[in-house]
Structure 1
Amino acid sequence: MPSLSIKRLSVLALPFAAFSAIAGQVQAQEWTPDGSVEFIAPANPGGGWDTLVRTMSRVIQQEELADENYAAINVPGGGGAVAWAQIARDEGNPQKLFATSPPMILVPLAGASRYDHTDFTPVARLITDYSIVLVDADSDYQTLEDLLNAMEEDPGLSVGGGSAPGSMDHISIAGLASAAGLDAAAVNYIPFSGGGDAMTNLMGGHIEAVITGAGESVGQLGEGSQLRALGVSSEERLGGELAEIPTYKEQGVDYTFDIWRGVMGTPDMPEEAVSYYENLFAEMLETDGWQEARDQLGWLDAYQDSEAFGAFLDDQQALFSNVLSELGLLGE
């Protein structure tokens, strides 16, 4: 069967290990937000963007890092494209932020958004998450191998995800299928407006499996859960609530998929605002409240400041352009 040439598709550069370099660059900041900051999750509640936004907002408040409220706002639709179109019209607004991850690169490349990462202001990359494969707790699929065998026998088997066709979850499950010897382009991927929607449809019996972010699934797993986790895309097992879930590699599929997550701002956000948020988020990552939440969600810190994050996004665009072309999903 055809397979992608990329056995390991990793979208995460090495985690930023120390904050000493940042400390040397920090300068006294005169600018602070004037009132509440809009913090947009470009999807419905329950997905990876939503989880990041609400976790950050809560930690900033609990740790008393800022006087202002970071108001979580959900703007679903188009795998992020609806929110991006709204944000793009608010040029220069220093008090509007949004969560971002690989769909910021993938959706425009697939031709599903007129706006791409170059239209916005990179603020900071924060963490990496991983993909997780879920089925209903009563499903016949007990292992990842069971599901992959079923997908080979029935290419119409539906796998839902919280991002648009050709975007993050689609690429993640296509890469897994390819690494297992299946036809990546034949995966029957069903898009939903966020991982929460995908999991709801799985529990409702509308699809056979879900591929989503491991962090956003934590609240749906555990004793009495309606879902069963078959595997995670990390190199090694995750900690916290996800510690008992085997990796793909443990189950004989040599494939990993890392999901970076970060924050971007409006087009041409003022430099003093970018600097303020860079320093705020770097400080947040060092708090007990953040580290507790991060460990519970199975995230790893992967901080980059605005300049480094912008260069990283450019590299991601080049990488995923090749991947989408190989899958026949690159837009015109």
Structure 2
Amino acid sequence: MTTKFTARGITAILLPLAGLTGLAGAVQAEEWAPTRSIEFIAPANPGGGWDTLVRTTSRVIQSEGLADQNFAAINVPGGGGAVAWAQIANDSGNPHKLFATSPPIILVPLAGTSRYDHTHFTPIARLITDYSIVLVQADSDYQDLNDLFEAMRERPSMSVGGGSAPGSMDHISIAGVASAAGLEASGVNYIAFSGGGEAMTNLMGGHVEAVITGAGEAAGQLGPESDIRALGVSSPERLGGPLAEIATYQEQGIDYTFDIWRGVMGTPDMPAEAVAYYEDLFARMLETDDWQEARDQLGWIDAYQSSEEFGDFLDAQKEEFSGVLTELGLIR
């Protein structure tokens, strides 16, 4: 049996093939990779949760050879994140700028201290869950959270420091656990510093009685020879690694937990192909040995969400936090 190809038949075959070639070209044209160093911004001073996330992820990406371009960690402190967000908002469409994010991207605008919230930026990926931890000086008389809250009842002016703005993450976290322990949440004398590192410096200098911060950023500073000691952690169960000996709030009879999700966002209107590149990059990073070792040391829990999932999550968080802040009398 023979097959005869006419000119019309050959054309009929070649046209679909040309269409496929054109489609492949379009897909290839949509592929994107950074052409210069990525500015990876921590919207606070060194030593806090954003800074820890930025520097840890940048180091793992480099050590694992996941990207051809360098991720340059940059600290832009001020306003509980508001100073950095204002700068980033003015760089619309830049695919070479990212920033670390967590609940303050929602809480600070709700409290009225930033005109920019999560809706002004491009969600890239949620990466991990961290938890709050309450710290005191190593020689403090307070042995657990109940001791601390009893002292706060007797001396309402007693100060508790944190690395986020008034009405933001650390404030709402300590106000929430104090309320669960029977205190007036709005009466907690919260002192805001420009990051967890500065808050701990003030704790060690005796300028505040206690500090609430992220467990991950405190993990490396705790130990038998440390100048600070932990009274409790906001996780539902004990964490691993260097935080394994720290009792949860619930173990101390205080029915309260607080999650600190952390992730990455980009500039407004970041091109979709750049978003796809970073989504894939961070997903691959979470699978590496270097990341898993660092994550376990910091007491973090992987909680990856894609750009779309993260965006939906942020919208839901805004609704939830609006109610909580109103309840606690912290919303303006």
Identify whether the pair has TM-score above 0.5, normalized to the shorter chain: yes
1:238 counterpart residue number: 239
Distance 2:241 2:145 in 1: 21
Map 1:196-235 to 2 at 5 A: 196-235=197-236
Compare CA radii of gyration and give the structure with the larger one.
2
Distance 1:106 1:85 in 2: 16
Residues 12-69 of structure 1: per-residue CA shift (max 9 Å, x gap): xxxxxxxxxxxxxxx9762000110000000000000000000000000001101110
Map 1:66-105 to 2 at 5 A: 66-105=67-106
Asked if the contact 2:178/2:185 (under 8 Å) is kept, the reply is yes
The residue identity in structure 1 corresponding to 2:218 is S
**Partner SS, residue 60 of structure 2:** helix
Distance 2:144 2:180 in 1: 16
The residue identity in structure 2 corresponding to 1:293 is A
Map 1:114-153 to 2 at 5 A: 114-153=115-154
2:13 counterpart residue number: none
User: Deviation at 1:145?
Assistant: 1.1
1:173 counterpart residue number: 174
The residue identity in structure 2 corresponding to 1:36 is S
User: Deviation at 1:74?
Assistant: 0.2
RMSD of the alignment, in Å? 1.0
Distance 1:265 1:300 in 2: 22
Residues 94-133 of structure 1: per-residue CA shift (max 9 Å, x gap): 0000000000000000000010110000000000000000
2:190 counterpart residue number: 189
1:108 maps to 2:109 = yes
Map 1:304-323 to 2 at 5 A: 304-323=305-324
Distance 2:31 2:185 in 1: 51
2:11 counterpart residue number: none
**Greater share of residues in helix:** 2
1:289 counterpart residue number: 290
Structure 1's consecutive aligned runs of 4 or more residues displaced over 4 angstroms after TM superposition are none
2:274 counterpart residue number: 273
- Number of aligned pairs? 305
**Partner SS, residue 133 of structure 1:** strand
User: Deviation at 1:146?
Assistant: 0.7
Asked if the contact 2:77/2:194 (under 8 Å) is kept, the reply is yes
The residue identity in structure 2 corresponding to 1:267 is P
Distance 2:31 2:168 in 1: 39
The residue identity in structure 1 corresponding to 2:204 is M
2:17 counterpart residue number: none
Distance 1:251 1:312 in 2: 30
User: Deviation at 1:154?
Assistant: 1.1
Distance 1:305 1:239 in 2: 26
Residues 127-152 of structure 1: per-residue CA shift (max 9 Å, x gap): 00000000001111111111011111
Residues 202-234 of structure 1: per-residue CA shift (max 9 Å, x gap): 000000000000000012111210001000000
TM-score by length of 2: 0.91
**Partner SS, residue 82 of structure 2:** helix
Asked if the contact 2:186/2:330 (under 8 Å) is kept, the reply is no
Residues 140-175 of structure 1: per-residue CA shift (max 9 Å, x gap): 111111101111111111000000000000000000
Higher relative contact order structure (alpha carbons within 8 Å, sequence separation ≥ 6) = 1
Distance 1:284 1:308 in 2: 18
1:157 counterpart residue number: 158
Structure 1, unmatched stretches of 5+, are: 1-26
Distance 2:51 2:144 in 1: 29
The residue identity in structure 2 corresponding to 1:278 is E
Distance 2:321 2:288 in 1: 34
User: Deviation at 1:330?
Assistant: 1.6
**Partner SS, residue 220 of structure 1:** coil
Distance 1:30 1:309 in 2: 22
